[in-house]
Amino acid sequence: ASSGQRPRVIWLHFQECTGCTESLLRASHPDLARLILDVISLDYHETVMAAAGYQAEANLHDTVDNHPFILIVEGAIPVKDNGIYCKIGGRTALEILGEVAPKATAIIAIGTCATSGGIQAASPNPTGAVGVEDLPELTGNVPIVNIPGCPPNPVNLLGTILYYLTFKRLPALDSQKRPLFAYGRRIHDQCERRGHFDEGRFAEKFGDKFHQMGYCLYKVGCKGPETFANCPTARFNDVGVWPVSIGHGCIGCTEKNFWDTMTPFYER
Ligand code: SF4
Ligand code: SF4
Ligand code: F3S
């Protein structure tokens, strides 16, 4: 639904699992999803829009042609064989991004798929999947913010949108276009198990006595030392947990190409 003052947002889904959307919609914070939906006018979003078929496409074109809008992209863009591996409404992701992106006032790439290709881009990347920022010939000079994670914490999208609406500019970004407020610090430097790391107390394998005692997960593969994100402080869905707090090492899901660079996940 559109309305007067709320900024319009177009949310495009390309090659992905919809997990980023699902995590946003399932956020247990009472008003997180509603807050996002109340502060913006979500003119096109395949998962939640009421419109379908021709009406949905008409909404998309009306916004793109007649109004300023923020573009959120979820999912990778396959470029091999002219992009035939992802089509919506008969058009490739490449064609749709090329039409919509240049007219956006800003682009937010949500999730590791949209920021660097995600699991589809893992070697041997059979469809030539890439992230939005890898296609400057389509996005032109439109500023891009990357919110990686698989899926990312919804609070990082919310913070980015609210920052943009409040200050009329994008938040400060790191060299990978990630907001510093969320991705400025290393997981390892904020982790509640860091004391165990510093004292040399490690779980040697999953389920052993030291794992049960909450020791550091470095030796069972934790990639917290190589990963930048706010998971230990923001935590997830207001239930106060994040991967390491429930006994699973970080797999580096906010880092570019982590399916290739952070594997094997359970070894150092
Ligand atoms: Fe799914 Fe992860 Fe891609 Fe989000 S980043 S769409 S959760 S595979
Ligand atoms: Fe670092 Fe991971 Fe150990 Fe935490 S569990 S201290 S992030 S290696
Ligand atoms: Fe991802 Fe590591 Fe956080 S796996 S969710 S960046 S703890």
pLDDT digits (tens, 9 = 90+) for 154-210: 889 989 998 998 899 999 999 999 999 999 999 999 999 999 999 999 999 999 999
Amino acid at 121: A
Ligand nearest, relative to CA of residue 193: 2
Cα of 20 from ligand 1 centre, angstroms: 5
Residue 2: what pLDDT?
44
Q: Is residue 268 part of a domain?
A: no
The reply to whether 136 and 25 lie within a common domain is yes
Residue 149, ligand 3, Cβ within 6 A: yes
Number of domains in the chain: 2
In the chain, DSSP assigns E strands to: 8-13, 41-45, 69-74, 77-78, 87-88, 91-92, 106-110, 129-130, 144-147
The reply to whether 168 and 136 lie within a common domain is yes
Give the domain range for residue 202.
Answer: 187-261
The reply to whether 167 and 47 lie within a common domain is yes
Nearest of 92, 118, 66, 130 to residue 12 by alpha carbon = 92
Residue 229, ligand 3, Cβ within 6 A: yes
Residue 1: what pLDDT?
40
The reply to whether 161 and 95 lie within a common domain is yes
Cα of 260 from ligand 3 centre, angstroms: 15
CATH of the domain at 243: 4.10.480.10
Which two three-digit tokens encode residue 116? 């660097």
Residue 118, ligand 3, Cβ within 6 A: no
Residue 41: what pLDDT?
86
Cβ atoms of 179 and 145 within 8 Å: the answer is yes
pLDDT means per 10 residues, the chain with 268 residues, are: 72 96 74 72 86 90 94 98 95 97 97 98 98 97 97 92 91 97 98 98 98 98 98 88 97 97 96
CATH of the domain at 20: 3.40.50.700
Q: What is the DSSP letter of 153?
A: P
